[in-house]
A and B are shown apart, each in its own frame.
Chain A
Amino acid sequence: DAMVIQNPRYQVTQFGKPVTLSCSQTLNHNVMYWYQQKSSQAPKLLFHYYDKDFNNEADTPDNFQSRRPNTSFCFLDIRSPGLGDAAMYLCATTLSGLNTEAFFGQGTRLTVV
């Protein structure tokens, strides 16, 4: 009964080759987040969707894009992965406007070779 599911768990991509990470949720939450987490660092918010509205963090590189075709699914596209993009990518969801926590997926570990 996983609620936030990320696929794949592990992804290896070549330097410069576009890659897409996926996230799905069964919670019907209207807010979905993508975080980047590097070793021994805090999860860093890349962007989030509030319903269909996309909200980019000011310091998120243009190399990172996102799509949310419907409430349940959200994708993270890395257009030209560099070695510095190797990290754990976490998807999370929540309900807006309420004191609800964020629910996280298990993450996708991205390796760039």
Chain B
Amino acid sequence: KNQVEQSPQSLIILEGKNCTLQCNYTVSPFSNLRWYKQDTGRGPVSLTIMTFSENTKSNGRYTATLDADTKQSSLHITASQLSDSASYICVVTSYGGATNKLIFGTGTLLAVQP
């Protein structure tokens, strides 16, 4: 069964600290993995996309990693800011020929406190 699991479910950190969010997946065949950021009351916004051959990709203070062998991804946030408080959702795309199937994790809720 295709599944995406994220941990931790929620996280509280102090402003300026770093944190790492985890995503484990059992999706086949694998096409790509995206991290989305969802601010409260808003729609999710894509942060990064990782394909099978990519190990690391950065977007400002956000760095995503992918280990296709262990089927794990992480999102590292450096020098956190109050505006990083949001839900972070891992989404894996499974290529199914004519159509792709998106499998969503349930998200990690991050709270950055001053």
Same complex for A and B? Answer: no
Chain A interface residues (CB < 8 Å from chain B):
none
